[in-house]
Amino acid sequence: MRVINSITVMRKLIEKVKKENKTIGFVPTMGYLHEGHLSLLRQAGIENDFLVLSIFVNPIQFGPSEDIYSYPRNFEGDKKLAQKEKVDCIFYPRQKDIYPKDYRTFVSVEELDSYLCGLYRPGHFKGAATVVAKLFNIVSPDTAYFGQKDIQQAVIIKKMAKDLNFPLKIKILPTIREKNGLALSSRNKYLSPKQKKDAGILYASLKKAENLIKSGEKDAGKIKGIMRGVINKKKTARLQYIEIVDMHGLKPVKKIKKKTIIAAACYFGRARLIDNLII
């Protein structure tokens, strides 16, 4: 397994791999790998000849009051896990190479970033789309893999790739969870054992909504109200939003139709956790 910091060296390696007619699978991450990331790597490894993992804590997707400085990092641990998953190359660029001092270009996927988390994290998706576009240009993957856990990000990246004619496929893979339903996240590191236990309520509220829909409930307002009640039973939970949106445009709906996303964001202590189900 190679670890590459330099954009030029990365490009040279990709050129060589392409000459060998190998397909490239790509999993972009911010590191501190867990089973969610590993599930993406496994699938990408099965479907491709050459597997690239990128690790880059992207400063421009963090707001001024967000956790970039304390964002968990463990490069040595990540390297071991990547090796186990038969990653061929970790792209681990330096911040100053990705964003030199005179950096000026950003990718904004309009409208899709104005719902759900976009309302509470201004600039976040512009930051994420920009870095992913840059990584796509450097790594030139045939297929890139994203987790459903960050569904808005996945939908935005898919749209960006389509609109900007990136010659690649995007795959969105299921959310990996703890036994109590809590979606795995690097930010779960911030949770105390009690908060971690309580945080399972987020998934429980989504399952409650799913069951209501399965039994015929169509009124989004009513479903959201019931979910709110479920989450607010936990004193440690500080709910940020619950929303029901259409899968395509991410716009809130009043009535449940086909392909709907139920999504929620909630603080437990200092950890802001998100989760969703696609119905």
Longest Cα–Cα distance of the chain, Å, equals 58
53 sits near ligand AMP (criterion: CB under 6 A):
no
Show Cβ contacts of residue 32 under 8 Å, excluding neighbours closer than 6 positions: 71, 72, 73, 74, 77, 78, 186, 189
Q: Token pair of 3, please? A: 């670890």
- Residue recorded with tokens 């996927």: 109
- Contacting residue, 186, 188, 195, 276, with ligand AMP by CB under 6 A: 186
Show Cβ contacts of residue 179 under 8 Å, excluding neighbours closer than 6 positions: none
Show the binding pattern over residues 16-35: x = contacts ligand AMP (CB under 6 A), - = does not.
-------------xx-----
For residues 204 and 227, what is the distance between their CA atoms, to the nearest angstrom? 9
Whichever of 50 and 145 has its CB closer to ligand AMP, that residue is: 145
Catalytic residue IDs = 37
- Contacting residue, 25, 93, 127, 147, with ligand AMP by CB under 6 A: 147
Using CB under 6 A, which of the segments 74-82, 181-189, 201-209, 256-264 binds ligand AMP? 181-189
Q: 3-class SS at 183? A: strand
175 sits near ligand AMP (criterion: CB under 6 A):
yes
Using CB under 6 A, which of the segments 18-26, 36-44, 114-122, 162-170 binds ligand AMP? 36-44
Residues that bind ligand AMP (CB under 6 A): 29-30, 36-37, 39-40, 146-147, 149-150, 175-176, 183-186
